[in-house]
Amino acid sequence: MALLEVENLQTHFRTPGGINRAVDGVSFHVNEGETLAIVGESGCGKSVTSMSLMRLIPEPPGRIAGAIRFAGRDLLQLPDREMRAIRGNDISMIFQEPMTSLNPVLTVGRQIRETLMMHQGLDKQAAEVRAIEMLTLVGIPEPKRRVREYPHQLSGGMRQRVMIAIALACNPKLLIADEPTTALDVTIQAQILKLMLDLKRRVGAAIILITHDLGVVAEIAERVMVMYAGRKVEEASVAELFRAPRHPYTQGLLGAVPRLGSSLSGASKRLAEIPGQVPDLRKPITGCVFAGRCPLVTDLCRQYAPGLEEKGPRHIAACHYAAKGAVAA
């Protein structure tokens, strides 16, 4: 059953240069306990999508339209007060920058207690006990000492663990992780990913993982949605997407992943890049959003935007030539 259903989400920003359509008509769903990855390069609208789900986009200059149904309720129609009761409680979020996402002048314990006292109605003592429990759960040694410490006394990996502890303290149904490992070094990345998977199994939360790291996607996601220029261009199960990417953009993304040791085995090839740049989102785009950079582009692509079509088993992509692309891959 779908826990979250997003329908025709449009998040636009008013800017001096015109309306920036950061997210333009994106629909997707997340099932209970499922992990959905949203993939795309910088500026494709994946972070704006996640912020829109939480209604954390400042309005104005932003404007969110469409429908975001969470457990049957449209979040966009809720009054602020009810939305606040959902944030940090039913849906919580982990951010990319663990170094700056914690408040430097409040103790770690205080920052974990806050959500517990607000959403679960715990008193200070009970919240403190639970905060220590959460720190233990996310693998922070000496939790009794750490709750009294300030963020600057912790390393980046530790801080991200604290963020996870805060996010999971109220047993959310949905966890949105916006590039949770990008700012961490590789060994810590693996630890944090493993931790998220462990906790997901324990708590049973669904996860929306926002990333540009396809390695991370293969590691923990079940389903992938590829975004480009504020639109969804492809969606499939992880196995299916890696086996047979249909959209030329997805193919490009997969081709741009370096393979470790390829030069030793003699299989070394020049890393494929996607030439060109993301189109200016302040100008209306006719035709396919990827037309300017696509190797398969034709006049048809420049004139008519392709719709999302079923290209394989539970596999959709927005490309006039997707079938051909699949063969080419």
Contact status: 46 vs other proteins (CB under 8 A) = no
The CA-CA-CA angle for residues 320, 27, 229, to 5°, reads 60
Contact status: 52 vs other proteins (CB under 8 A) = no
Q: Which stretch binds other proteins (CB under 8 A): 27-35, 88-96, 187-195, 219-227?
A: 88-96
What is the C-alpha to C-alpha distance for residues 27 and 106, in angstroms, rounded to an integer? 38
Among 154, 163, 241, 278, binds other proteins (CB under 8 A): 163
Tokens of 219: 């590691």
Q: Please answer whether residues 145 and 176 qualify as being in contact, where contact means their C-beta atoms are separated by less than 8 angstroms.
A: no
CB nearer to other proteins: give 105 or 186: 105
Among 16, 72, 105, 284, binds other proteins (CB under 8 A): 105
CB nearer to other proteins: give 177 or 289: 177
Contact status: 192 vs other proteins (CB under 8 A) = no
Q: Enumerate residues 271-310 that contact other proteins by CB under 8 A.
A: none
User: C-beta of 96: minimal distance to other proteins in Å?
Assistant: 9
Q: How many CA atoms lie within 13 A of 272 on its CB side?
A: 12
Strands (E), the chain: 2-15, 18-31, 35-39, 62-70, 73-74, 91-94, 174-178, 206-211, 223-228, 231-237, 309-312, 315-317
Contact status: 121 vs other proteins (CB under 8 A) = no
Q: Enumerate residues 245-274 that contact other proteins by CB under 8 A.
A: none
187 three-class SS: helix
User: C-beta of 268: minimal distance to other proteins in Å?
Assistant: 39
Contact status: 70 vs other proteins (CB under 8 A) = no
What is the C-alpha to C-alpha distance for residues 177 and 93, in angstroms, rounded to an integer? 6
Q: Please answer whether residues 138 and 194 qualify as being in contact, where contact means their C-beta atoms are separated by less than 8 angstroms.
A: no
User: C-beta of 30: minimal distance to other proteins in Å?
Assistant: 17
What is the C-alpha to C-alpha distance for residues 83 and 5, in angstroms, rounded to an integer? 16
Q: Please answer whether residues 94 and 176 qualify as being in contact, where contact means their C-beta atoms are separated by less than 8 angstroms.
A: yes
Torsion angle defined by CA atoms of residues 119, 122, 123 and 128, in that order, rounded to the nearest 10 degrees: -100
Q: Which stretch binds other proteins (CB under 8 A): 1-9, 39-47, 110-118, 197-205?
A: 110-118
What phi-psi label fits residue 220: left (phi over 0), alpha (psi between -120 and 50 degrees) or beta? alpha
Among 77, 100, 263, 298, binds other proteins (CB under 8 A): 100
Contact status: 93 vs other proteins (CB under 8 A) = yes
CB nearer to other proteins: give 28 or 95: 95
Among 11, 20, 101, 160, binds other proteins (CB under 8 A): 101
Binding site for other proteins (CB under 8 A): 54, 56, 84-89, 92-93, 95, 97, 100-106, 114-115, 118-119, 150, 152, 163, 166
